[in-house]
Amino acid sequence: MEKDVLILAIESSCDETAAAVVRNGREVLSNVISSQIALHTLYGGVVPEIASRKHIEKINQVIQEALDEAGVTLQDLDAIGVTYGPGLVGALLVGVAEAKAIAYAAGLPLVGVHHIEGHVSANYIENKELEPPFLCLIVSGGHTHLVLVKEYGVYEIIGRTHDDAAGEAYDKVARAIGLGYPGGPKIDKLSKEGNPKAIAFPRAQIEGAPFDFSFSGVKSAVLNYLNGCAMKNEEINRADVAASFQQAVVDVLVEKTIAAAKEYKMERIAIAGGVASNSALRAAMEAACAKHNLQFYHPSPGLCTDNAAMIGAAAYYEYQKGVRSGLDLNAVPNLKIGER
Ligand code: KG4
Ligand code: ZN
């Protein structure tokens, strides 16, 4: 039996201050999240300065809770994992500085983690049998990518968005129909009361790039539709707009993912990122995978949105490969997937 590897993971890239203790990459001993959503709702989106300040206020308490809940002390740990990009630079810096201080004080190795690779790794936590290679659709607030996960920590991007990320489109459309921030979960909920076929919004295809995405067109189509209704003094059925928009986005996400799985001969499909918690996307992907005889994996909704357990999962596989970050680790706001 190999020795257990216990990692304390820290995540502060956006508006959640989070810490978790993860054993051997897949077993979550604690997963503490302090959300700032209520604070930012007032401004209709994340205010970077407020996010950084709140992270500083909360991070020590969140880490202590994660250690206490897991029933461990710093002496029991094997490494510290921390998100160092991409994200808001000031927010990232809080987690990175904290992780470096703990690593230095406790004499522990430090492993810098890519936030999006963390999202992908969330799939390992509840799907103990899932191993690379597989195809992963990453849909978050800032990213929309189709990636081949070739080995642990080895990614090949085969598709990406040319403009808005899927989550960004959800948030913008939600704002336009007056649902407020964060828009994704609100559109998800309201869509259940609407008719997804009520309005035909466009499904963008990009010539010569079958696995790339574009969501600015559907977003503009929704805005045009709303303007048109306003000019004609027609009442808007917000549930129908939400459901029709969501259907357009989900159709494209599912269709391209299945086509990519066929093209790259992948039998396993996973989804990751905040939008992966969307109920319509999960249902549609599940049905499409069943139809095409593909295995479908997904984290539970709470592990799709930002958390530190996923960072612990990703850190474990990097740690096992011998990856170590120096105490000069810096926040990299525009870090690319697969970069170190
Ligand atoms: O992955 P995430 O928590 O943070 C980033 O790394 O960006 O993703 C946040 C995004 C937001 O745009 C949010 O509106 C969207 O995920 N989101 C959803 C749902 N829950 C969160 N979008 C659609 N349906 C949901 N249920
Ligand atoms: Zn995220």
On whether both 226 and 289 belong to a single domain, the answer is: yes
User: Is residue 127, in this structure, part of any structural domain at all?
Assistant: no
Question: How far is residue 53 from each of residues 31, 56, 92, 135, 233, measured CA to CA in Å?
Answer: 22, 5, 11, 37, 44
Residues 136, 299 contacting (CB under 8 angstroms):
no
What is the per-residue pLDDT for 338? 78
∠ CA 146-152-153, nearest 5°, is: 65
Cis peptide before 133 (omega within 30 of 0): yes
By residue range, what is the domain housing residue 192? 132-299
What is the per-residue pLDDT for 82? 98
CA 252: distance to chain centroid?
18
Q: How far is the CA of 243 from the centre of ligand 1 (A)?
A: 17
pLDDT (tens, 9 = 90+) of the chain, 340 residues, equals 679 999 999 999 999 999 999 999 999 999 999 999 888 988 888 999 999 999 999 999 999 999 999 999 999 999 999 999 999 999 999 999 999 999 999 999 999 999 999 999 999 999 999 999 999 999 999 999 999 999 999 999 999 999 999 999 999 999 999 998 889 999 999 999 999 999 999 999 999 999 999 999 999 999 999 999 999 999 999 999 999 999 999 999 999 999 999 999 999 999 999 999 999 999 999 999 999 999 999 999 999 999 999 999 999 999 999 999 999 999 999 999 877 6
Closest CA to 222 of 249, 194, 241, 240: 241
Query: Does ligand 1 lie within 6 Å of residue 118's CB atom?
Result: no
Q: How far is the CA of 273 from the centre of ligand 1 (A)?
A: 7
What is the per-residue pLDDT for 1? 64
User: Is residue 221, in this structure, part of any structural domain at all?
Assistant: yes
CATH number at residue 286: 3.30.420.40
CA 188: distance to chain centroid?
16
Query: Does ligand 1 lie within 6 Å of residue 183's CB atom?
Result: yes
d(CA 258, CA 211): 10
Q: How many domains does the chain have?
A: 2
**Alpha helix stretches (DSSP H) within 177-308:** 183-191, 216-231, 238-263, 279-291, 301-304
What is the per-residue pLDDT for 136? 98
Q: How far is the CA of 188 from the centre of ligand 2 (A)?
A: 18
User: Is residue 149, in this structure, part of any structural domain at all?
Assistant: yes
Query: Does ligand 1 lie within 6 Å of residue 14's CB atom?
Result: yes
Query: Does ligand 1 lie within 6 Å of residue 273's CB atom?
Result: yes
Instruction: Please state the pTM of the whole predicted model.
Output: 0.96
On whether both 139 and 271 belong to a single domain, the answer is: yes
Query: Does ligand 1 lie within 6 Å of residue 212's CB atom?
Result: no
